[in-house]
Amino acid sequence: MDPSPLFYQAGPALPEVSHARGVYLWDEAGREYLDGCSGAISCNLGHGRPDIRDAMLAQLDRVAFTYRTQFENAPAVALAKALVGLTHDQLQKVFFVSSGSEAVESALKLARQYFVASGEPERRRFVSLRPSYHGSTLGALGVTGYQPLEAPFTDITIGSLKVAGPDFYRHADADDTLHVERILAETRAAMEAADPDTIAAFILEPVGGASTGARMLGQAYLERIRALCDEFGCLLILDEVLTGVGRTGTWFAYQHYGVTPDLLATAKGLGAGYYPVGAVLARADIVEAVMGSGGFQHGHTYAGNPLACATALAVVEAIQREGVLSNVAARGCELEAGLEALKARFAWVGDVRGLGLLWGVELVADSDTKAPFPAEQNRFARITALAKEEGLLIYPRRTLDGVAGDHFLVTPPLTIDAADTAELLARLERAMVRFDHELSAAAPANALTP
């Protein structure tokens, strides 16, 4: 067979997918896989839903595409109203895009143009966390803190001021409170040194995603970052591309903490894997200032097209109709308990953390020192391969700025039931037993004893 002309990232040959239904996929050889990571943490409602298909077909029968400068369309208006309602009217304006990177890029540009329109053009810098992930387009990559992704492009991106966020697993402070205080003091000092009058916005994920393995930031930290942004006169952008639309058990993760952003980027779960769609939500006064200065100098061809918005509206309505957020809470508790039991069993599981159906499992070579495995061993890739052999898909990454550390995410569709949650944990356990045997065979006697 001739090699495929497609190229993505480097890696082993992949099986060809055949079909999918619910939380399962099958390849052309007939092998079944439980989707334990919702694809790229995006297939929030699972696969093969007739209600989403029907909504898409109904819109296709009317009109699939219109351009935003030529027509308004009912699905876009209805979806925008629905999203504003999901924020309890805390964010009143919506701008549609097609991906998470576009959503972040749009939020950055909106923040910048707001300050230009408001007579503060010197505010051109952004603050973000290291590690973090905000997207692959050049603006979003500039605020990303993940060295392998940044390295080839540092000389053509405008990098952000990158500061550390809390790490409640690895910190060496006396307690979590002192850790947060130290991190906040370092952040304030960095922002003051950079001149707060030049800062447009602070961008962060309210719960960490792929770059940190669901690292939690916590109530106190988020409240103080909100206060720091207010004090310095900059905006707070929350990147909820991954956490938004129910992933953590609320519509948006910030709602767990009562810390409202000025701008919010979301995507992934908004289309639930059925169609590319994302959005930026903003305070009305920000948008009014920009529109009053001649309009938002930005846009994409597929922004707000009716097929995308009809799909996303069907997703939102399904989550509401089926009580999916309650299911996230229930299944999240089961998943947490199962992962904690596996942590207790295997010494190389250093930390389990997460919220709702967003869970990270961090692997370590030494549970006492929390030392990571040597990077060249690629343990994150190995455990993912073993899980796939057991018919389970999980989402791997490096924990420590992309250059070291190992973790994987467990993020099944929000519609997973109790039986399939138990099956997920059973398949993961089998993979972890095999991983443990490999470690034991490679390690000196008495090392990494479960």
Mean of pLDDT values over 309-336: 98
Percentages (nearest 5) of helix, strand, coil residues in the chain? 40, 20, 40
Q: What is the pLDDT of residue 382?
A: 98
223-239 pLDDT, tens per residue? 999 999 999 999 999 99
Q: What is the pLDDT of residue 449?
A: 44
Whether 4 maps to a domain, the answer reads no
Residues 273 and 404 in one domain: no
Short-list 178, 148, 210, 158, CA closest to 359: 210
Residues 301 and 334 in one domain: no
DSSP bridge pairs for 49? none
Q: What is the pLDDT of residue 444?
A: 66
Q: What is the pLDDT of residue 30?
A: 97
Q: What is the pLDDT of residue 5?
A: 87
Tokens of 52: 């989403």
Q: Which of 321, 340, 357 is the last residue before a domain boundary?
A: 321
Q: Which of 321, 347, 363 is the last residue before a domain boundary?
A: 321
Q: What is the pLDDT of residue 2?
A: 61
Residues 28 and 64 in one domain: no
pLDDT-derived band of residue 10, with 50, 70 and 90 as boundaries? confident
Residues 156 and 187 in one domain: yes
Q: What is the pLDDT of residue 446?
A: 44
Whether 79 maps to a domain, the answer reads yes
> Residue 413's domain spans which residues?
17-48+323-442
The DSSP secondary structure of 204-219, one letter per residue, reads E-SB--TTTTS-B--H
356-399 pLDDT, tens per residue? 999 999 999 999 999 999 999 999 999 999 999 999 999 999 99
Say whether pLDDT at 432 is over 80: yes
The number of distinct structural domains making up the chain is: 2
170-224 pLDDT, tens per residue? 999 999 999 999 999 999 999 999 999 999 999 999 999 999 999 999 999 999 9
Residues in Cβ contact with 226 at an 8 Å cutoff, skipping those fewer than 6 apart: 236, 259, 260
Short-list 112, 121, 163, CA closest to 139: 112
Q: What is the pLDDT of residue 4?
A: 80
C-alpha span between 409 and 395 (Å, rounded): 5
Residues 374 and 302 in one domain: no
25-34 pLDDT, tens per residue? 999 999 999 9
Higher pLDDT, 348 or 5: 348
